[in-house]
Structure 1
Amino acid sequence: MLQSPALARLLGVASLQRDKRCLAQVLAAQFGLDADFPAGALSALGDGLLQDQAARQAGWMCADPVYLQLQRDSFALAESLRLPAEQSIPMLAELNTHFTEQGLQFHAGRSGAWYLRTQQPPELSASLLAQALGRNVAAFAFSGPDAQRWRGLVNEMQMLLHEHALNQAREARGQWPVNSVWLSGPGFLPARLAAPPQRFYASDALSLGLAQCATLSCSPPPATLAEFVATQQISGPKADAMLVLLEDEPTAAALDEAWLQPVWIALRRRQLSALQLHIGVGGEVLSVYLRPSDTWKLWRKPLTLEAYVSA
């Protein structure tokens, strides 16, 4: 969990709201989508997999390689694993050898993420990875008319992966093996999405897919608030902007220096009229709202994310 003195200072004076949706669902809602949106097709689009009409008309699911950890009487989704190409390609090839006759094809996107292409998306409610990470997977079981069939397919995937030589080599090196595939976000690519009014800065596959589907320009995230402000001034009049930063992009110290400390100063100087943060915390979202006047609430104590979660 993010350890950030600057964030704690912001949280201490902000208006806070807990959102039961995960961060991807909150982002998708900015484009007019509901919580059960086709994350697989949109992410595959942003990850460079929907290059022809046949691919755009297929069904897609996110198919994240994961490690399920055995607890006393259950399994927990312990880790999402991003594999190097030399491991990912042979594993996907073995899965495809087994499942292609059933109309299922596994693919890796430009980012290295895995996706499953289907002839028709299943009638299935499947929780997104972020919702289940670190939790008992029994609480996030498939539901819907096709749930039983897809539970069986996942069991087959688990058996194939368990026997794969690369997984055995990972365990021998003390690395977690890929012992399951987390399937989520089934559906077709939407024909068109409504574009939010803000300028959009992001580089992750889902954000890029949402932007493409909404024909919205999407720029890479600036490295610092100063660079962001300069970009806004160069590109036109001041306006609202939406920025997506992934957890693994900046370290906490870099995030403090590049964004959170300068944001505090900019609010105090009224260079920003308002700030809205959405922070993914344990499968939910902490929504944070700040105005310049909030920075003068000197009687409010800093609030860490740990304190918020335990409250």
Structure 2
Amino acid sequence: MGTATLLLPPRARFGGQRLSQSTARWLGRAHQDNVEGDPVARAFDILPRGWPVAAVTRQRDAGDAAGSAWLRADPVHIRPDINGARLLAHGDALGLTVSDADALLPSLKPLFGDAGFPIDAPVPTRWYLRLPEGAELPVLAGPARALGADLFDYLPDGSQGRRWRALLSEAQVVLHNHPHNAARVAAGRTPVNSLWFWGAGRLPDHVRSNFNEMLGGDDAMQAFAEAAGATAAALPERWRTGEGHRLFDLRHVRDLALLDRDWLSPLLADLRSHELDAGTLEFGDGRRFRLERGQRWRLWRRPIQSFVEQSPAGDAPE
């Protein structure tokens, strides 16, 4: 036996979709509270404190992160509009191959090399800048968080921000004029017309976690899981009974009926049958449901028919 935590998108992403009756009853009886911060980062104890994604994923990808600070400069696709430029695609959505990276990177290397930030790509979807000793590390959000948002809302302000904005603008010109992007468009593929700077930092002194297995496609979570000595694996298609403390990354799910059928209902069945000690649902908006076997006797608590319903901040009076 053990515990399971499901990372889920903000509740509003499910709209007014309805839960099954049995799941609605159980969640209505669960303990609820609110938590702050990135749900993946909360799964780890990191020293020094922070979320140095670039260094940890670099170590996983290339094994040479020690001794330097790193910044991710991931290839993305943005679309200009009247108010700026919106991030529309990144990572696997671009379908990048080694040939794509080999074609695009040589034109960017002089730009970033002259600025003191050598760029390379040990993985086609993960590009890195090695930062010089003493460089200020910009605090920038990851592309998954900013999808659909204006690119320039996520660049730092002040003199530091001016430098990164200038570099980004020059990189966009290089990519916009690159013949390989023209070939991608002609082939019906999305062009790489910008970069996304994020995840700055150095390798932490230690990474630990109470989870012994983490399942999902997020490369940062997988890299930190391996650094913590946990098992990192792909997300199964549906709930899987198992032992230990497990975390499932379901932040991509939008269909509540599918979530209920393949994940929530079987998880609750394992709670009833003593195959699971406890479960937790953590939503991207900070709402958390903590599920325990004895809660099924809270008969006075009303069901939660959908996640957009107003629900109590914690337990009702006993």
Q: Which has the higher helix share?
A: 1
| 2:77 paired residue among 64, 67, 70 | 67
Pairing 1:288–2:292 present: no
- 1:17 deviates by 4.4
8 Å contact from structure 2 (residues 226, 232) kept in 1: no
* 1:267–1:138 CA distance, 2 compared to 1 (3 A): same
- 1:141 deviates by 2.5
Quick one: distance in 2 between partners of 1:109 and 1:4?
A: 44
| 1:170 paired residue among 184, 187, 205 | 184
Quick one: distance in 2 between partners of 1:166 and 1:188?
A: 33
- 1:12 deviates by 5.2
TM-score of the pair, normalised by structure 2: 0.73
Quick one: distance in 2 between partners of 1:35 and 1:74?
A: 33
Q: Which has the higher strand share?
A: 2
1:300 alignment partner AA: P
What is the CA deviation profile of residues 163-213 of structure 1, one whole-angstrom value per residue up to 9, with x for unaligned ones? 1122223334554422211101111111223x2233233464323432344
- 1:36 deviates by 4.5
TM-score of the pair, normalised by structure 1: 0.75
8 Å contact from structure 2 (residues 28, 302) kept in 1: no
**Unpaired runs of 5+ in structure 2?**
1-12, 311-318
Paired-residue identity, %: 25
Quick one: distance in 1 between partners of 2:238 and 2:28?
A: 21
* 1:167–1:294 CA distance, 2 compared to 1 (3 A): farther
Instruction: Give the structure with higher Rg (CA).
Output: 2
2:108 alignment partner AA: L
1:89 alignment partner AA: D
- 1:162 deviates by 0.8
- 1:262 deviates by 0.9
Number of residues paired by the alignment? Answer: 287
2:96 alignment partner AA: P
After the TM superposition, which residues 31-46 of structure 1 pair with which residues of structure 2 at under 5 Å, given as runs?
A: 31-32=45-46, 36-46=50-60
1:243 alignment partner AA: L
2:291 alignment partner AA: L
Quick one: distance in 2 between partners of 1:97 and 1:262?
A: 54
| 1:77 paired residue among 70, 75, 87 | 87
1:220 alignment partner AA: A
What is the CA deviation profile of residues 96-115 of structure 1, one whole-angstrom value per residue up to 9, with x for unaligned ones? 24322333233334473222
**Unpaired runs of 5+ in structure 1?**
233-238
* 1:163–1:44 CA distance, 2 compared to 1 (3 A): same
* 1:130–1:250 CA distance, 2 compared to 1 (3 A): closer
2:304 alignment partner AA: K
Which of structures 1 and 2 has the larger relative contact order (alpha carbons within 8 angstroms, sep 6+)? 2
- 1:277 deviates by 2.5
TM-align CA RMSD: 3.6
